[in-house]
């Protein structure tokens, strides 16, 4: 009995040391628990929304890459074909990073007589041909009914000018429908070429000259167009 009394006394002393009891502690605890549960639910909702946004971003990125690759593959194919038509060498466009084509740029692989060259090793005329082929390849992906070229042949020699003239004549006789597919019953694209190169001019269906008389520009038709 004495030990029980002693234990009871000890417990009473410890209880008195705890101080007064907070009668609203349980209510406050419930409030904090409710707030905690609310935070957990909000966190869960935010994580789900984040996952949805990331899925949308991933889907858009994949679609963007697929659309780009479709365009790139067609432009690259057209570039190779056109460069072969207007020049005496071959070439293709390559992606520097095929896994992420938007991270790096493009490179041109040009071969001449079986040897591969960097574009920086080319002459001004050869660089012009690469640029012309790229422009026509891009336009070939989404053709326009109207083209204006200003002395794109300035750095070209006679033989290459002839090849370019043949290509422009062929292009002017190509027809497209509303989906950019070649057909036979739609208007031809119209090409206006400004040039001082007689070899190229001879391929035009119409030739117009411009001269200045008394500080006034005069336009006249030349008879040597094909």
User: Could you write out the three-class secondary structure of 155-217?
Assistant: CCCHHHHHHHHHHHHHHHCCEECCCCCEECCCCCCEEEEECCCHHHHCCCCCEEEEEEECCEE
Kindly list the domain boundaries of the chain, sorted by start residue: 53-142, 143-226
Token readout for 42 is 């909000």
Domains 53-142 and 143-226 share a fold: yes
For the chain, helix (H) and strand (E) counts, in that order, are 5, 9
Overall fold of domain 53-142: Rossmann fold (3.40.50)
Q: Which of 103, 118, 110, 102 is nearest to 79 (CA)?
A: 110
Q: Tokens standing for 47?
A: 């994580």
Residue-wise pLDDT for 51-87, tens only, equals 999 999 999 999 999 999 999 999 999 999 999 999 8
Position 14 pLDDT exceeds 70: yes
On whether the 143-226 domain is CATH 3.40.50.300, my answer is: yes
Residues in CB range of 87: below 8 A, 6 or more apart: 126, 129, 133, 160, 163
Q: Is the pTM of this model over 0.85?
A: no
pLDDT at 185 over 50: no
Residue 64 to residue 67: CA distance in whole angstroms: 5
Band of residue 154 on the pLDDT scale cut at 50, 70, 90: confident
């Amino acid at each position: 009995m004495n030990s029980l009394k002693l234990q009871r006394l000890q417990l009473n002393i410890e209880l008195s040391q705890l101080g007064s009891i907070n009668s609203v502690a349980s209510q406050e605890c419930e409030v904090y628990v409710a707030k905690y549960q609310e935070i957990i639910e909000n966190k869960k909702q935010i994580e789900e929304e984040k996952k949805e946004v990331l899925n949308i971003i991933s889907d858009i990125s994949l679609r963007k890459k697929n659309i780009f690759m479709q365009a790139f593959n067609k432009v690259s194919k057209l570039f190779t074909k056109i460069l072969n038509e207007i020049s005496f060498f071959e070439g293709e466009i390559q992606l520097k990073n095929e896994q992420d084509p938007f991270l790096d740029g493009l490179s041109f692989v040009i071969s001449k007589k079986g040897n591969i060259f960097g574009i920086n090793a080319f002459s001004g005329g050869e660089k012009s041909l690469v640029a012309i082929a790229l422009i026509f390849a891009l336009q070939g992906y989404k053709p326009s009914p109207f083209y204006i070229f200003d002395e794109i042949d300035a750095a070209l020699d006679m033989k290459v000018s002839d090849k370019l003239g043949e290509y422009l004549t062929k292009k002017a006789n190509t027809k497209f429908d509303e989906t950019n597919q070649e057909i036979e019953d739609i208007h031809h694209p119209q090409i206006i070429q400004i040039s001082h190169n007689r070899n190229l001019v001879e391929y035009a269906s119409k030739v117009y000259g411009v001269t200045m008389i008394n500080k006034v520009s005069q336009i006249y038709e030349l008879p040597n167009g094909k």
